[in-house]
Amino acid sequence: MSVSAPALRVALVGRPNVGKSVLFHALTGRYAAVSNYSGTTLDLRTAPGEGGLEVTDTPGLFSLESRSDDEAVTRALLAGGGADVLVQVGNACDPEGALSMAFDLARLGLPTVLVLNMADEAEARGIVVDAPALSKALGVPVVVAAATSGRGVENLKATLRAAAPLRPPPLPTELEAAVDRLARRLPSSQRDRALWLFTADAVERPEPAERERGRFSRRPSFLYMQAARERAAELAALCVRRGEGRDGGGWLEAFGRWSLHPWVGPAVSLLVMAALYEFVGVFGAQTCVEFLEDRVFGAGLIPYATRAVEAVVPWAFAREALVGKYGAVSMALTYAFALILPIVTTFFVAFSVLEDSGYLPRFSVVTDRLFRAAGLNGKSLLPVLLGLGCGTMAIVTTRILETRRERVLVSFLLTLMVPCSAQLGVILGMAGASAPVVGWVWMGVMAATVTGVGWLAARVMPGAAPRFVIDIPPMRAPQAGNVARKVASRLKWYLMEIVPMFVLATFVLFVLDKTGGLAALERLGAPLVQGWLGLPKEATGAFLTGFLRRDYGAAGLFQLHRDGLLSPRQVAVSLVTITLFMPCFAQWLMSLREHGVKVAAVTTALVSAYALGAAGAVSWAWRWLS
């Protein structure tokens, strides 16, 4: 009886934006979201590969001393013995940075393969790596790759079982002597980890290591990384040839530089946002919605479905549940496919192009000053931008932030004022079809909200915004195939979630309408909805179903606007309300899981009170000024 060999556990490790997820797909055939900014991967993804491999894609890591939750996941995997081979993926355009990280990871003593990815971009800039010479100097296999085209992937597969521990840099005399003394005093099973145990700031050390560290006036990790950077620069000078690039940088690189300029950068960001508005708010929320709702559904599918149901279904109750005022076909599917689908599709396309190009990290640099007004920094933009797709998953991405204070504050902002893709499309569509003052009122309330959150946070949760460190990838032309895969993946997930929930929410409205519950709730909510907010009574149904799905509630208000039932004042109040009001139930549950009952309860109370207060204030101020 033959016994199969155990799987070789391979961990893909490196900074954000170096192509780990592309290599993961090449080694396993599994697709992982590939984005050109940090924070995409937040949990470990593991899948089997060819030749008995078990491959794990890890969150981006800047160093073993990093303190954010997602980086701690990677560190725990490596330091806890969860990998047999470490594949460090580096950027061939920045060989010194890749080598510095290689020496950082060398402290773990794991068999290693160094992959210098994006070689095509490096060569276009005149950067050529002598892989054999570098491999000899490091003592590990070095693979030059361009994973998007498949270059170097087979070479990587062939070298995995030849991996060896990477040689650390020459240590300062005092540090080397201390590590040698520590190794002699440790159990034999831990001696190969003496360098890691002594120099790492992020681990609990055995007592001998603590006593040795007490003799140093400077942190051993600082001394080690200083030696690592010096050795990285030395090897880069010996093994990397730099010549003149073939394209002189190109217009994309020039655009990348200008987008970081202190004065031009904000102007570029405004142009990008204007283009997003035109594509999503005008083309998606108006042109596409009008075509689908009026011609496809209104003039075709709904009349045909109504005749078919009336001919086949004998029960009036069932017919009304399918094609009546609150019917599963006439309302739920119309909302899902005619109103929401074109909006989220155009948003997903635009967002995928922006993230694939490398612009989003630059946008976070430009907005760093704005976020500092709220006691945060530009890295907080990444969860906020993901919140424009789905707030539920954005709550998870707050793990990339370093402190609990940041994570709670950003989660509060996500709950309070970050609309999901469907909501944002509705907002852009309603604002674009109304008087210009409506959009200005909405933006003014949002700006005041950000400032108010910052002022309150400075008093309730004291602490300065942490230092902002982010990896800026090169600008790249978005790849059509990658954009298409991401849009298709997101639409599949969105539709699998949205259609059942829309049908459920519509059925709730149908039952409430048939039992008289909806009329009772409209009467009960009249002082708030009609009196304080100044909205028509039909808006009550949108708010009720908004608890199940925010985008369903937004779609209800959008339909009222398209039916001409909202004045410009009521449009402004609606925009403020649907932006600031309670999150969907799924997002609330995710906040509960990530931050606990106390934070979720306080957030719910504050968001509800503030949303209704701000929207009512807009309504009354508009009336007073009119």
Weakest mean pLDDT among 28-37, 85-94, 281-290: 28-37
Local confidence band at 206 (pLDDT 50, 70, 90 cut-offs): confident
pLDDT reading at 1 higher than 70: no
Residue type, 153: V
Q: Is residue 65 part of a domain?
A: yes
Domain check: are 455 and 543 in the same one?
yes
Q: What is the pLDDT of residue 465?
A: 56
pLDDT tens per residue across span 28-51: 876 555 444 454 555 677 888 777
pLDDT reading at 551 higher than 70: no
- What is the arithmetic mean of pLDDT over 55-64? 83
Domain check: are 302 and 442 in the same one?
yes
Residue 180 main-chain phi, psi, to 5 deg: -60, -45
Weakest mean pLDDT among 223-232, 466-475, 502-511: 466-475
Domain check: are 121 and 232 in the same one?
no
- What is the arithmetic mean of pLDDT over 260-282? 80
Q: Is residue 470 part of a domain?
A: no
SS3 143: strand
pLDDT reading at 537 higher than 70: yes
pTM of this prediction?
0.64
Q: What is the pLDDT of residue 34?
A: 47
pLDDT reading at 357 higher than 60: yes
- What is the arithmetic mean of pLDDT over 600-618? 82
Weakest mean pLDDT among 176-180, 309-313, 534-538, 549-553: 549-553
- Torsion sign, CA atoms 367, 372, 378, 383: negative
pLDDT tens per residue across span 15-29: 877 888 888 888 887
Q: What is the pLDDT of residue 99?
A: 93
- What is the arithmetic mean of pLDDT over 81-104? 89
Does 588 or 81 have the greater pLDDT score?
Answer: 81
pLDDT reading at 168 higher than 80: yes
- What is the arithmetic mean of pLDDT over 572-591? 73
Local confidence band at 420 (pLDDT 50, 70, 90 cut-offs): low
pLDDT reading at 599 higher than 50: yes
SS3 164: strand
Q: Which residues contact 378 (CB under 8 A, 6 or more apart)?
A: 364, 365, 366, 367, 368, 371, 468, 470
Does 169 or 256 have the greater pLDDT score?
Answer: 169
CATH number where 62 lies: 3.40.50.300
Q: Which residues of 206-217 are buried (b: 16+ CB within 10 A; e: fewer)?
A: eebbeebbeeee
Local confidence band at 381 (pLDDT 50, 70, 90 cut-offs): low
Q: Is residue 473 part of a domain?
A: no
Which of 258, 275, 307 marks a domain boundary?
Answer: 258
What is the rounded radius of gyration, in angstroms, for the C-alpha atoms of the chain?
28
Q: Is residue 1 part of a domain?
A: no
Does 11 or 409 have the greater pLDDT score?
Answer: 11
From the CB of residue 389, how many other CB atoms can be counted at a distance below 10 Å? 21
Does 494 or 198 have the greater pLDDT score?
Answer: 198
Q: What is the pLDDT of residue 68?
A: 67
Domain check: are 546 and 408 in the same one?
yes
Contact predicate 39/364, CB 8 Å = no
Q: Which residue has the tokens 């890749």?
A: 98
Q: How high does pLDDT run on average in the chain? A: 78
Domain check: are 150 and 210 in the same one?
no
Which of 165, 196, 229 marks a domain boundary?
Answer: 165
- What is the arithmetic mean of pLDDT over 564-586? 78
Domain check: are 84 and 145 in the same one?
yes
Q: Which residues contact 358 (CB under 8 A, 6 or more apart)?
A: 17, 36, 37, 256, 472, 473, 474, 475, 476
Query: From CA 569, how far away is CA 149, in angstroms rounded?
Result: 54
Q: Is residue 217 part of a domain?
A: yes
Does 282 or 613 have the greater pLDDT score?
Answer: 613
Q: Is residue 358 part of a domain?
A: yes
- What is the arithmetic mean of pLDDT over 574-578? 82
Weakest mean pLDDT among 225-229, 317-321, 411-415: 411-415
Domain check: are 525 and 611 in the same one?
yes
Residue type, 566: L
- Domain tally, the chain: 3
Q: Which residues contact 79 (CB under 8 A, 6 or more apart)?
A: 64, 108, 196, 200, 203
Q: What is the pLDDT of residue 152?
A: 85
Does 323 or 546 have the greater pLDDT score?
Answer: 323
- What is the arithmetic mean of pLDDT over 568-578? 84
What is the separation of C-alpha 581 from the centre of its chain, rounded to a whole number of angstroms? Answer: 22
For residue 248, what are the domain limits?
173-258
Q: Is residue 475 part of a domain?
A: no
* Tokens standing for residue 466: 């942490």
Q: What is the pLDDT of residue 462?
A: 61
pLDDT reading at 430 higher than 50: yes
Which of 204, 223, 258 marks a domain boundary?
Answer: 258
Domain check: are 105 and 66 in the same one?
yes
Q: What is the pLDDT of residue 3?
A: 45
pLDDT tens per residue across span 486-524: 788 778 877 777 777 778 777 887 888 788 777 787 777
Domain check: are 150 and 177 in the same one?
no
Domain check: are 136 and 191 in the same one?
no
Q: What is the pLDDT of residue 36?
A: 46
Q: What is the pLDDT of residue 37?
A: 47
Q: What is the pLDDT of residue 208?
A: 77
Q: Which residues of 164-187 are buried (b: 16+ CB within 10 A; e: fewer)?
A: eebebbebeeebeebbebbbeebe
Weakest mean pLDDT among 167-181, 218-232, 409-423, 509-523: 409-423
Q: What is the pLDDT of residue 136?
A: 92
* 3-class SS letters over 508-540: HHHHHHHHCHHHHHHHHHHHHHHHHCCCCCCHH
SS3 289: helix
- What is the arithmetic mean of pLDDT over 460-477? 67
Which DSSP state fits 263?
T
Residue 114 main-chain phi, psi, to 5 deg: -100, 120
Q: Is residue 307 part of a domain?
A: yes
Domain check: are 306 and 324 in the same one?
yes
Domain check: are 160 and 114 in the same one?
yes
Query: From CA 352, how far away is CA 295, in angstroms rounded?
Result: 29
